[in-house]
């Protein structure tokens, strides 16, 4: 059927609820109707993510139902009915509009298929879902979240039995089951209450987080003044619990943003990468002369910070900067002799600065494709190799991070965790203050030792079917022409097999192009896997800030002109 046929089917079939059909009847723009129905909302390697509303290309109870029915059939075929009834699936959700409803929909469908469900009783962080899968020895996990996306979005992420988000080879299997469901009428939304258990393991999760604490100076912790905002999301309870247990006593929340609210009324976007998200926190910090502002996104897997500088103003730090600081802090506050072969993991679009710090400490560095699921997969791989007694691959995971404000210390989760990150960031800041410094001063020390790095990200939104076609055309044009940069040393096309570390085979293919320049700077271009965006990453190496800023502007002009984005 074409999009008009699908629209008419949903509009006139009383299987679809009255609210859905009224919403569709109110549509008058043919382009909007096309966008709602020109395809099925893709169940990709990250599950579902899209705008909420009526239609096959929207997040609603029916597309969630189709994904869940496919997942349930996959689990039953893979593990058998008995394992599904005993081990089951853990389900969690964030504070977005409809998240709780979609989680209950998921629970009903799975339990109706004979699969046990552990359903979180309240909105909780995504890393807590990852932890919970292992805690309950479940077969899989589902979290209803769109992370840091705008309020009109929601999503559906699937995790494996190790608490790691599905990687491509796993997702491919689940996708085949989801795609096999062509009739929405075949989905049973009637749950089996006897197979649904309401759970909350927040205290267990926080105690696991506390094992990563690295700094014990109680007075220094009590002296640190912290402003914290959960941006209307799930972070308030676990982050504050962890910080208080860690000995921090001067934690002041941003009251207007503590209230869970899927409309995110106090921010343009609930994304700590967006400096506007921390504005209320910075205003509050100025009133009490706080040392640091922390902001976690709605599902509390990312954290952004602003640090008071020498003028009394507050300066935001990038994900790459915080990653480098955490790398140095963890490595200098860990007894590395307890590990046979400690390793850290980053993504291919993350700055090399943190990796340089690790290598100087003799730590093995692994690079993965974009997406924290690949870092989680490495943790599972390390543990499997160790259990099998592989001498040449006997690595211990120490730290993983990505440029987009996601970090993980420890193996209590297989996903980025803003709770453990907030704890370690505050410990770093407390130690710096005790030594008469700030994290900005410590960043300058790192630059003095390793050279100056200027990292940036440009993100361009191209909506609808036409936008996706334009993004595809941009990537095709880049691949079919010479590098737009005169001083290119090499080009890596991750859509083709690329070697991972020696002995670890090839990386999965991904729609990413990376240009390495002669001075070690690089530029990477990739379409977003979760939004209608094309992203351009820059990592500029230079002798000083002024030189790096000039080079960044020149490079931005070149690539944006090439793609006709400026």
Catalytic residues: 147
Rounded Cα gap, residues 251 and 164, in angstroms: 31
Sign of the Cα pseudo-torsion (205, 207, 211, 212, in order): positive
CB 199 within 8 A of CB 121: yes
Q: Cα separation of 354 and 347, whole Å?
A: 11
Q: Please list the alpha-helical segments (H only) found in 319-463.
A: 319-332, 353-360, 372-387, 418-434, 439-450
CA pair distance 60, 57, nearest whole angstrom:
9
Contact between residue 240 and residue 273 where contact means Cβ atoms under 8 Å apart:
no
d(CA 370, CA 526): 9
Q: Report how far apart the first and last C-alpha atoms of the chain are (Å, whole number).
A: 38
What backbone phi and psi angles, to 5 degrees, belong to 540? -105, 125
Q: CA-to-CA distance for 362 and 434, rounded, in angstroms?
A: 28
Tokens of 305: 């910070």
| SS3 at position 387 | helix
C-beta separation of 388 from 415 below 8 A: no
Name the token pair of 312. Answer: 């009394």
C-beta separation of 54 from 24 below 8 A? yes
Say which residues have a Cβ less than 8 Å from residue 171's Cβ, sequence separation at least 6: 43, 44, 45, 46, 47, 158
**Tokens 């030792």 sit at which residue?**
449
Q: Under a CB-based contact definition with an 8 Å cutoff, are residues 218 and 224 in contact?
A: no
> How many CB atoms lie under 10 A from the CB of residue 216?
11
């Amino acid at each position: 059927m074409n999009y008009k046929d699908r629209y008419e089917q949903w509009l006139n079939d009383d299987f679809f609820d009255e609210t859905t059909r009224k919403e569709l009847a109110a549509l008058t723009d043919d382009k909007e109707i096309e966008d709602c129905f020109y395809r099925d909302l893709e169940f990709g390697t990250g599950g579902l993510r899209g705008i909420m509303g009526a239609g096959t290309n929207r997040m609603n109870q029916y597309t969630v139902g189709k994904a869940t029915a496919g997942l349930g059939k996959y689990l039953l075929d893979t593990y058998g009915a008995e394992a599904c009834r005993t081990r089951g699936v853990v389900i969690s959700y964030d504070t977005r509009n409809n998240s709780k409803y979609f989680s209950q929909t998921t629970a009903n469908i799975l339990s109706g298929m004979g699969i046990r469900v552990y359903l979180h009783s309240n909105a909780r962080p995504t890393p807590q879902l990852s932890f919970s899968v292992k805690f309950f020895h479940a077969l899989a996990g589902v979290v209803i979240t769109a992370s840091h996306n705008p309020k009109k979005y929601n999503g559906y992420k699937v995790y494996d039995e190790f608490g790691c988000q599905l990687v491509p080879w796993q997702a491919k299997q689940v996708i085949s089951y989801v795609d096999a469901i062509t009739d929405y009428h075949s989905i049973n939304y009637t749950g089996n209450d006897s197979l649904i258990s309401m759970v909350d393991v927040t205290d267990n999760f926080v105690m696991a987080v506390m094992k990563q604490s690295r700094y014990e100076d109680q007075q220094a912790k009590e002296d640190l003044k912290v402003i914290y905002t959960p941006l209307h999301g799930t972070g308030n309870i676990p982050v504050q619990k962890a910080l208080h247990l860690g000995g921090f006593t001067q934690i002041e929340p941003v009251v207007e943003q503590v209230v869970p609210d899927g409309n995110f009324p106090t921010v343009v976007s609930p994304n700590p990468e967006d400096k506007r998200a921390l504005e209320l926190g910075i205003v509050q910090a100025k009133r009490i002369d706080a040392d640091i502002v922390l902001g976690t996104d709605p599902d509390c897997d990312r954290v952004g910070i602003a640090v008071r500088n020498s003028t009394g103003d507050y300066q935001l730090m990038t994900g790459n900067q915080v990653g480098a600081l955490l790398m140095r802090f963890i490595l200098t506050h860990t007894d590395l002799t307890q590990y046979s072969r400690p390793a850290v993991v980053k993504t291919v679009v993350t700055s090399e600065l943190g990796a340089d710090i690790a290598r100087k400490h003799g730590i093995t560095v692994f690079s993965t494709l974009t997406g924290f699921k690949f870092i989680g997969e490495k943790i599972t791989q390390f543990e499997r190799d160790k259990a099998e007694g592989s001498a040449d691959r006997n690595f211990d995971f120490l730290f993983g991070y990505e440029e987009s404000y996601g970090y993980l210390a420890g193996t209590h989760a297989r996903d980025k965790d803003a709770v453990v990150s907030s704890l370690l960031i505050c410990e770093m800041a407390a130690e710096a203050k005790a030594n008469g410094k700030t994290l900005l001063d410590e960043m300058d020390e790192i630059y003095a030792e390793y050279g100056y790095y200027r990292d940036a990200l440009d993100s361009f939104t191209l909506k609808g079917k036409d936008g996706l076609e334009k993004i595809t055309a941009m990537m095709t044009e880049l691949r079919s022409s010479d590098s737009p940069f005169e001083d290119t040393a090499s080009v890596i096309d991750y859509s083709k097999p690329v070697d991972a570390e020696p002995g670890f085979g090839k990386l999965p293919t991904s729609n990413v192009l990376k240009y390495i320049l002669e001075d070690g700077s690089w530029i990477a271009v990739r379409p977003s896997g979760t939004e209608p965006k094309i992203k351009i990453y820059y990592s500029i190496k230079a002798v000083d800030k002024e030189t790096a800023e000039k080079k960044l502007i020149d490079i931005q002009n070149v690539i944006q002109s090439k793609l006709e984005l400026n």
